[in-house]
């Protein structure tokens, strides 16, 4: 594979070496990753709970979706930036990891689902749909996002 040597030369780039080899570099980047994850999954959970009508019923769905969006997008930027840095610091840990590959597939699916299907269900112009369909949408969304988290955790335990 030609990818690993290229990634390893990136991982020897001075700013990345600085983060990797300083005592608190990686813990700080990992902490940002975890804080971003917390905010991201929180906004996703809140949106899905409201979608299926569990709590926050007086809060208009489209308005809540609008107000959650900057926090979701901000959190995605934080997790992606910190995640990229973690990946580039030690690419050897990730390129051949099966859980990592699964995580990337789930991440792409979750992002796609969130900003296409779920967005349509939570926007102003959303057509009235049966509760069953909404529950199914929420289940798919939560499975995908929490799947990303579980696959991420599995990287440390499964090759």
Partner 1 sequence: MPLHEWCEWLQHTHFATMITESEWLFPLIEGSHILALPLSVGMIMIADLRLLGLGFCGEATWKFVPRFLRLSRIGFPVMFLTGGLLLITQAAKAYGNPFFRAKLIFLLLLGINAVVYQKLFFPKMAEWDSAGGAPAGAKFCAAFSLVIWIGVIVCGRTMAYQF
**CA 155, CA 159: separation in Å to the nearest integer?**
7
Distances (CA, A) of 144 to 23, 112, 157: 34, 10, 20
Helices 14-21/3-11 angle, 10° precision: 70
Q: Can you count the helices (H) and strands (E) in the chain?
A: 7, 0
Q: Considering beta carbons, is residue 87 or 146 the nearer one to partner 1?
A: 146
At closest approach, how far in Å is the CB of 153 from partner 1? Answer: 4
Q: Under rule CB under 8 A, which residues in 81-110 are in contact with partner 1?
A: none
Closest to 49 in 3D by CA, of 72, 37, 65, 33 = 65
Q: Considering beta carbons, is residue 14 or 156 the nearer one to partner 1?
A: 156
Q: Of these, 6, 18, 60, 139, which contacts partner 1 (CB under 8 A)?
A: 60
At closest approach, how far in Å is the CB of 69 from partner 1? Answer: 10
Q: Applying CB under 8 A, which residues contact partner 1? A: 24, 26-28, 30-31, 34-35, 37-42, 44-46, 49, 55-56, 58-60, 63-64, 67-68, 70-71, 146, 149-150, 153-154, 156-157
């Amino acid at each position: 594979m030609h990818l690993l040597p290229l990634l390893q030369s990136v991982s020897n780039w001075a700013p990345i070496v600085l983060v990797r080899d300083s005592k608190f570099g990686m813990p700080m980047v990992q902490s940002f990753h975890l804080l971003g994850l917390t905010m991201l999954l929180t906004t996703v959970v809140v949106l899905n709970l409201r979608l299926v009508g569990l709590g926050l019923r007086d809060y208009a769905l489209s308005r809540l979706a609008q107000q959650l969006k900057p926090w979701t997008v901000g959190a995605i930027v934080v997790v992606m930036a910190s995640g990229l840095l973690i990946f580039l610091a030690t690419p050897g840990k990730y390129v051949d990891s099966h859980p990592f590959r699964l995580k990337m597939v789930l991440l792409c699916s979750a992002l796609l689902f969130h900003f296409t299907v779920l967005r349509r269900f939570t926007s102003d112009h959303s057509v009235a749909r049966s509760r069953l369909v909404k529950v199914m949408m929420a289940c798919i969304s939560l499975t995908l996002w929490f799947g990303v988290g579980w696959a991420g955790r599995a990287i440390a335990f499964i090759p």
